[in-house]
């Protein structure tokens, strides 16, 4: 077994908790909105490419999916 390790904490920097919480909130926000955008994009691609509805229906599906995601995440 290894011996006991002593770490000198007197030179360690203190944590900046408010900055940590802001960074975490930003990460969570970007993750949520990124997920909504990717799902809306995939739905628009599905309508336009697989169902053969065309560009206008694809763009409208993308916009409607973004609106639903916006109201769902508020």
Each residue's pLDDT tens digit, 18-50: 888 999 999 999 999 999 999 999 999 999 999
Q: What's the number of domains the chain is made of?
A: 1
Residue 42 within a domain: yes
With 0.95 as the threshold, say if the pTM is over it.
no
Residue 54 within a domain: yes
Residue 7 within a domain: no
The DSSP result for 6-62, as a single string, is ---GGGSPPP-HHHHHHHHHHHHHHHHHHHHHHHHHHHHHIIIIIS---HHHHHHHH
Residue 4 within a domain: no
Residue 13 within a domain: no
Q: Which domain holds residue 48?
A: 32-74
Residue 1 within a domain: no
pLDDT, tens digit, for every residue of 54-74? 899 999 999 999 999 999 998
Residue 70 within a domain: yes
Residue 19 within a domain: no
């Amino acid at each position: 077994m290894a011996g006991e390790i002593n770490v000198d904490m007197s030179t360690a920097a203190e944590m900046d908790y408010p900055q940590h919480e802001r960074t975490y909130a930003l990460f969570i926000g970007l993750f949520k909105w990124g997920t909504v955008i990717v799902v809306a994009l995939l739905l628009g691609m599905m309508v336009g490419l697989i169902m053969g509805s065309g560009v206008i229906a694809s763009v409208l599906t993308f916009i409607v999916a973004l609106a639903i995601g916006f109201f769902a995440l508020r």
